[in-house]
Amino acid sequence: MVFLGGTREQSMPIELRYNTFFAYLDVPADLRLKLNRRVFRQTLKTDSRSVAERRAAPLIAQWKSEISRLREEPNHNDAKYWREALRRAPNDEQRNAILERIDMMAWNIGALNVEHVGDTPSKSPEARKFYAEATGLRVGTTEHLEEWIGSQDVKEKTAKMRRSTIHRLGEKFSTLQDISRKEVRRWVTELGTDLHPATVQRLLSDCRTYWSYLAAIEVVSEDAAPFDRLGLKVKSASWLPYSPAEALRLRKAADGDNNLADLVSIAMYSGARREEICSLKVEHVRSGCFEIVDAKTEAGIRTVPIHSKLSAIIKRLTKESADGYLIPGLASNGNGDRGDAIGKRFSRLKRSLGFTERHSFHSWRSTVITILERAGVPEGTVQDIVGHERSTLTGSTYSGKTTIEMRRDALRKLRY
């Protein structure tokens, strides 16, 4: 197959056309007539290969799922099959015909499970369960979880956390019909006794997003919003910045743990996240800057000038690295994150110095932002340095990224 103006990449089904990556997946020959296409293809709206690969993954999964679905013979005893048929019914006549089939199948199930003479099939628990699930009166809370995860353009770590959230929701409410605003209020109150406020907020955010997806595919009513307007005040979990004196005390206390001392130094003079720093490789350091390529968001992928206070440290780390990473020798956890263990070492250190739970490694970002803002650095420049989304209409829509020199000049004002 010839691709005009583009090349295909080998590690992921993506292709570069006219400086823009596309995801693609060839349709098997036996399904081309049914799908009326030879290939799935969709623009990824980026010229960055790493961004393209992240955006392509859920699309490829979705296309493969559709191919698998078309190849499977429908199980007419599966309530989900009939519920999907009802949803796709083009008119009331076909919908009523499907409802009659569901009613007949439920009656047959009940007839096979009658235990006592005189009992009617309609009283069979199995028949009632089938009917409720087939007509959408009862839907398992996690039934559409994997579809939802597959529809998102997120990193595997984020997908894993969201999957865990909805499984937690499913343990509390087995069906979507069990979920109401009243019951969610009680659940959130229970969660608040054991979990950090920031964790509760994240769980609620995931649940709202999942519910919106369910409403979009018509599994739940658009009017129902059980995770909104709860009337509960969940405590703020914003992190406190370190004062310049506190920052220097923490940095001095890290001496003796070389990796931790270097990690803290880079954080306090760049505002980078812990995992962004731990994933930095020697190859990402060039021309007096380091490239953040592994970030939580697209805005987090950025170029950060190396502060003068970091020059000697970065030069040493680059020269001495034995495994290609700027911070060497860190083991990855189950999510592939290298900063988990060293993050716990930092937590023990800051607690030993009397810092509260509102101080964390993330507080370094708040510290850098605070110092730069007080020094008069424009908001857009600060956001480009720390990797935040532009927070204003002007900044996000009409303003381009700041130049490297603008960021370098701003970082010269970062002093402790």
Instruction: Give tens-digit pLDDT for 101-144.
Output: 888 888 887 777 665 555 666 677 788 778 888 887 888 899 88
> According to the model, what pLDDT value does residue 372 have?
96
> According to the model, what pLDDT value does residue 8 have?
45
Classify domain 244-411 by CATH number. 1.10.443.10
Whole-model pTM: value is 0.54
Nearest CA to 396 out of 383, 410, 406 is that of 383
**CATH architecture label of 145-216:** Orthogonal Bundle (1.10)
> According to the model, what pLDDT value does residue 236 have?
52
> According to the model, what pLDDT value does residue 117 have?
52
3-state secondary structure of 301: coil
The conformation of residue 300, written as its DSSP 8-state character, comes to: G
Nearest CA to 361 out of 242, 258, 235, 253 is that of 242
Question: Taking a C-beta distance cutoff of 8 angstroms, is the pair 138, 129 a contact?
Answer: yes
3-state secondary structure of 81: helix
Q: Are strands 6-8 and 285-286 parallel, antiparallel or unpaired?
A: unpaired
User: Which pair of tokens denotes residue 285?
Assistant: 């350091």
State how far the alpha carbon of 184 is from the alpha carbons of 164, 180, 189, 225, in Å: 17, 6, 9, 11
Task: Please list the ranges in the chain whose pLDDT falls under 70.
Answer: 1-11, 33-34, 72-77, 113-122, 233-238, 296-297, 390-400
> According to the model, what pLDDT value does residue 75 have?
56
> According to the model, what pLDDT value does residue 235 have?
55
**C-alpha count within 13 angstroms, C-beta hemisphere, residue 160:** 7
Q: Domain extents for the chain?
A: 6-71, 79-134, 145-216, 244-411
> According to the model, what pLDDT value does residue 115 have?
59
> According to the model, what pLDDT value does residue 230 have?
84
List of residues 6+ apart from 378 with CB closer than 8 A: none
Place of tokens 């956390």: 161
Burial (Cβ within 10 Å: 0-12, 13-18, ≥19) of residue 356: exposed
> According to the model, what pLDDT value does residue 4 have?
39
Segments of 18-114 assigned E as strands: 20-26, 39-43
Neighbours of 33 (CB within 10 A): 9
Would 145-216 and 244-411 be classified into the same CATH topology?
no
Quote the CA–CA distance of 204 and 226 in Å, as a whole number: 10
Nearest CA to 386 out of 403, 350, 361, 411 is that of 411
